[in-house]
Structure 1
């Protein structure tokens, strides 16, 4: 009977592994196809001949982007935006979540603030009123127009608030007995215990601000001030326009190697490289429970 149960357990584990592998391939294979398309020639891409390996290998899409000075300017703008957005988000989220994690006995106005937050999360003024506010504040065509409208993501505040509420009270009480004030309790007790949730919202902030192109279309009117995602969204190859502009034969030959499909694939590849580089450093915190076992009640 024991051998029979062991056989079923092994079969079940094998089945689970197969399912996980298939799910992984479902996510991985489309990415491989995108990478292959970005390195393939125009004719092969147009003829749908590209699978998981490049056909008629070419670097033309990447050369078009990387040889462009505006590409690097936009890259630096996006990098600066990510850093500033992350710093502002982390500070405001933590300072808002900490008092809201207290009970109504400790923070009497907690219920009022929570109602405002939930209402603001479910209902917002919309794109036009937000644009008018940004315009009236004189923030158009500045990096702050991309940062300040998303300074306090309420969903992230709720995540951190719930995590803070789960920190054992014994830790805070011990710090208070030792003479710590509220800011010292936050800095010395809550933040070290909250690395997993802070890493999570940091990744949300980085991915959201890096991938956002729509804000650039709304608030930035000068191409030189476009963030990277907005700029590469505007890259298109139009042979007819080049002919009207009197382009030379070398320019036309280079453009002939490109289609919007493989250029867009190159955009996707380039835009994901920074996120792929950052994710391994934050991923480990998603599976780490620092609070678990810290205090035995």
Structure 2
């Protein structure tokens, strides 16, 4: 079916395509630059810029990072923290959001107001640290998984999604004698895959990129996630000007630091890049329905 667009429509569509192309280039060009730079010798990169000559390429940066004994342990810790945090956050969010979406739930507005207040006001870092310490969670995985498990924005998204589920389904189940708990697990939950995947992706990405909580609460290096390990590697390969008198040693240290920097960015981003295509269809549908319905 051919649609005859007016001149103004064609101009608008052309402008949309142009701005979308610009947006894609803004995102894609830095990504390509970082990936290519991670395989290049820093000296060649500095002198020539991006080059595709084989003589300018090296995998020394990846060798330096992967040869570090703490890398494998940090990668495992990061996967474990991210998956466990996503499971806990999604469970807390949907169990908190569903009652708030039920019309006859007494006090839902009061609970929602209390949740929203926490989005604007918090105890701060020191009180949070003292609470974690008093609960005996310092230097344990629970210090990473529990303090941020309740995310009010995720609860709002899930509640909005649940409100969009047709009431007729619940009413028909009530007529058949189903309890609210049975309705949730047999009807609501199977229909909520899009929002569940969206919340899981948000939680996974947020935890994967996080290193501050681990830096504050974890002293044991065996518990450090990948991001904190990479941060330590970068710091170890950097120094303040004037600390090294040998100019050649300083130049070599700078070269190694640049290689490790780009390689660490690629390594830390690779799991997210590989994971996103599998979540894309759920992500688009879940965000759209959860935000607008």
Change (3 A) 1:129 1:52: farther
Return the alpha-carbon distance in structure 2 between the equivalents of residues 85 and 173 of structure 1.
34
- Map 1:260-279 → 2, pairs under 5 A: 260-279=257-276
Which deviates the most, 260-269 or 270-279?
A: 260-269
Change (3 A) 1:257 1:122: closer
Residue equivalent to 2:76: 76
**Offset from partner CA, 1:191-238 (integer Å, 9 cap, x none):** 222222222111101100101011111111222221111110111314
Return the alpha-carbon distance in structure 1 between the equivalents of residues 49 and 228 of structure 2.
27
Residue equivalent to 2:20: 20
Following superposition, the deviation at residue 102 of structure 1 comes to 1.6
Q: Structure 1: where are the runs of 5+ without partners?
A: 245-251, 293-297
**Offset from partner CA, 1:33-73 (integer Å, 9 cap, x none):** 1112211113234x363237577211111111111221000
Q: How many residues align?
A: 278
Preserved contact between residue 238 and residue 254 of structure 2 (Cα < 8 Å): no
Following superposition, the deviation at residue 189 of structure 1 comes to 1.6
- Map 1:224-263 → 2, pairs under 5 A: 224-236=222-234, 237-238=237-238, 258-263=255-260
Residue equivalent to 2:280: 283
Change (3 A) 1:109 1:69: same
Preserved contact between residue 121 and residue 154 of structure 1 (Cα < 8 Å): yes
Preserved contact between residue 230 and residue 264 of structure 2 (Cα < 8 Å): yes
The 3-state SS of whatever aligns with 2:263 is helix
Aligned-pair Cα RMSD in Å: 2.9
With structure 2 as the length reference, what TM-score do the two structures score? 0.85
- Map 1:78-157 → 2, pairs under 5 A: 78-103=78-103, 106-157=104-155
**Offset from partner CA, 1:77-128 (integer Å, 9 cap, x none):** 111111211111111111100101122xx11111221121011121111111
Return the alpha-carbon distance in structure 2 between the equivalents of residues 156 and 4 of structure 1.
42
Preserved contact between residue 86 and residue 200 of structure 2 (Cα < 8 Å): yes
Return the alpha-carbon distance in structure 2 between the equivalents of residues 85 and 228 of structure 1.
15
Following superposition, the deviation at residue 256 of structure 1 comes to 5.1
The 3-state SS of whatever aligns with 1:132 is helix
Return the alpha-carbon distance in structure 1 between the equivalents of residues 147 and 4 of structure 2.
61
Change (3 A) 1:169 1:223: same
The 3-state SS of whatever aligns with 1:72 is helix
Preserved contact between residue 65 and residue 260 of structure 2 (Cα < 8 Å): no
Return the alpha-carbon distance in structure 2 between the equivalents of residues 5 and 157 of structure 1.
42
Following superposition, the deviation at residue 257 of structure 1 comes to 8.2
Return the alpha-carbon distance in structure 2 between the equivalents of residues 20 and 52 of structure 1.
28
**Corresponding residue to 2:190 among 189, 192, 202:** 192
Q: Which structure is higher in RCO with an 8 Å CA cutoff and minimum separation 6?
A: 2
**Offset from partner CA, 1:240-264 (integer Å, 9 cap, x none):** 9xx99xxxxxxx8xx6584323322
The 3-state SS of whatever aligns with 2:48 is coil
Return the alpha-carbon distance in structure 1 between the equivalents of residues 285 and 95 of structure 2.
23
Return the alpha-carbon distance in structure 2 between the equivalents of residues 280 and 261 of structure 1.
30
